[in-house]
Structure 1
Amino acid sequence: MDRGGCQMNGGGGGGGGGNHTDQPGMITLEDLESFSEDQLSDSGNGSLEEEAEIMEEGDDRLLHYWQDVARGHQVEVSEDMAEPIQQLTSNNQGRSHREHIPFTLLARKEKCGELLYEKRQYEKGHWACITMREDTYEQSICYGFMRIMRYICQQNSLEDYLGMTLPIVTVVRTDETHSVVSNDVTVAYFLPAEHQAQPPQPTDSEIVLEIWPATTVYTRPFTGPTNEVTIIDQINALAELLDSPGVCVNDSFIVAGYTNPAHSNRQNEIWFLERP
């Protein structure tokens, strides 16, 4: 199996490496749900309106707001993240500004009205990806997306905001028994349609632009936190539901996130990749 790139065929991802505890981190994929500025709440209550009110009061308060959220994940947000945070927040106040990755639904399996899994076809496209090796999965996705966020917010050859797409995906790798998650986690962002033909180059040398091939995936939704334990549980659950799990890559999987990792009721999917 190719380990030279962070592709959806289960490849390993280039660049990254080391423990980035001295790097600024960030927590957001879709909306930053409302958390108290004085104490991190696990309730997940709040709204975009509250975040907008905080944004109107200035960059400093918005930065502090995110720093409080990040501490709950043992992630530090540095002062120089204020401008990218402001850009992403101001450009994503409405859901219409978020482009979803296009796919074709091939099949859908249900039981008693409950969705068991879907089979989808994703077409070839450009992705920006970076591989991180932090102490925990959640630290890796936070620090990794922070660097992807900088690329989205002007640290690119266009020096312009590129636009947000969903889901943000992370490629995880396990042992053969699906009991241990590797420390290497690849965070990947699908380039918006307007940038697919000519992707802007990142200024961060560890962010790699890859053309991922057309891929068939088996996907199952789940809610809640994403960590090593829940990922292993979801991998094993989907493997039991598939009629022919042997058609899929055995050691590389994708966690697709549609809501921010600070939310206690995250909307996620686990993806199995069909062998090419």
Structure 2
Amino acid sequence: MDRGGCQMNGGGGGGGDGSGPDRHGTITLEDLESFSEDQLSDSGNGSLEEEGETMEEDEDSDRLLHYWQDVARGHQVEVSQDMAEPIQQLTTNNQGRSQREHIPFTLLTRKEKCGELLYEKRHYEKGHWACITMREDTYEQSICYGFMRIMRYICQQNSLGNYLGMTLPIVTVVRTDENHSVISHDVTVAYYLPAEHQAQPPQPSDNEVVIEIWPATVVYTRAFSGPTNEVTIINQINAMAELLDSPGVCVNDSFIVAGYTNPAHSNRQNEIWFLERR
């Protein structure tokens, strides 16, 4: 896929938090934060020598890494040792939901039936995104490995050498055939840069992570929960297509899955986005 295919442009191109996957675990960023805090409160007594504090921090980092590794095996995903520092940074820098910036949008309309929200129509402004396109054996593996690469960029592997801040949702761009029956193996994982970095995006150290400007876009979005895999995504795309009054106004072969919880969470909170044609 060419790099331009990552864009959320409503013209046939493509479009967290946390990282590290599982089919039987229920891991979220909140789980990891509380896990870290518990470990720190157990060990911290205000009288440890500096060397001892460093050892405790190393132990906490190892515990978090091992926890992510255990959960990831359910998705046939390996979390390497070099993820220990990004995992620790993401955990300690996100102590509460208020610090996670949500991608800004303007709500245009809501369609309801018998008091139930069917979908929303939103307008997203132009903005900078960090993107990486993966081609693993399964969609789950692609989003997990892709997010870990993005996570390294967020945490330190950028031209500033600093933690950039978490934004939600983390999105993945999926492409299908016109019948919405098969998902391409090429999956793009994308992270919206926080407001303070929009004007001058830090450059990635990973040359496969690219910074793109996605144009302003109108999307039709519907929430769903549970795991995201080839079957559930196809089902969600077809369900959304049936709800739209005029599905022809949307791109027919490129969609976005927006994730608000870890790709590994068994009850993941997601949205399916249809892109309005430009």
- Aligning the two structures, in what range does the TM-score lie when normalised by the shorter sequence? 0.7 to 0.9
Are positions 1:241 and 2:226 aligned together?
no
* Distance of 1:262 and 1:108 partners within structure 2: 30
* Distance of 1:5 and 1:241 partners within structure 2: 26
Higher helix share: 2
Alignment deviations for residues 205-257 of structure 1 (CA, whole Å, 9 cap, x no partner): 11111000000000000000000000000000000000000000000000000
Partner of 1:116: 118
Partner of 1:160: 162
Aligned pairs for 1:1-276 within 5 A: 4-9=4-9, 10-11=12-13, 29-30=17-18, 41-42=24-25, 47=31, 48-54=33-39, 57-276=59-278
Question: How many residues were matched structurally?
Answer: 256
Larger radius of gyration: 2
CA contact (8 A) 1:101 1:167 kept: yes
1:73/1:265 CA distance change after superposition, 3 Å: same
* Distance of 1:230 and 1:184 partners within structure 2: 17
Q: Which has the higher contact order (CA 8 A, sep 6+)?
A: 2
1:12/1:114 CA distance change after superposition, 3 Å: closer
1:252/1:135 CA distance change after superposition, 3 Å: same
1:133/1:44 CA distance change after superposition, 3 Å: closer
Alignment deviations for residues 54-112 of structure 1 (CA, whole Å, 9 cap, x no partner): 46652111110110111111100111111011000101121111000000000000111
Partner of 2:43: none
Give the unaligned 5+ runs of structure 1: 14-27
CA contact (8 A) 1:3 1:11 kept: no
Instruction: Return the offset for 1:43.
Output: 5.6
Give the unaligned 5+ runs of structure 2: 41-56
TM-score by length of 2: 0.87
* Distance of 2:88 and 2:173 partners within structure 1: 28
Aligned with 2:264: secondary structure?
Answer: coil
Aligned with 1:66: secondary structure?
Answer: helix
Instruction: Return the offset for 1:261.
Output: 1.6
Read off the aligned partner of 1:8 and give its amino acid letter: M
Runs of 4+ in 1 over 3 A off after TM superposition: 30-33, 40-48, 54-57
* Distance of 2:20 and 2:133 partners within structure 1: 24
Partner of 1:24: none
* Distance of 1:134 and 1:41 partners within structure 2: 21
Instruction: Return the offset for 1:44.
Output: 6.0
What percent of counterpart residues are identical? 82
* Distance of 2:61 and 2:4 partners within structure 1: 39
Is 2-11 or 201-210 further displaced after alignment?
2-11
Aligned with 1:49: secondary structure?
Answer: helix
CA contact (8 A) 2:20 2:144 kept: no
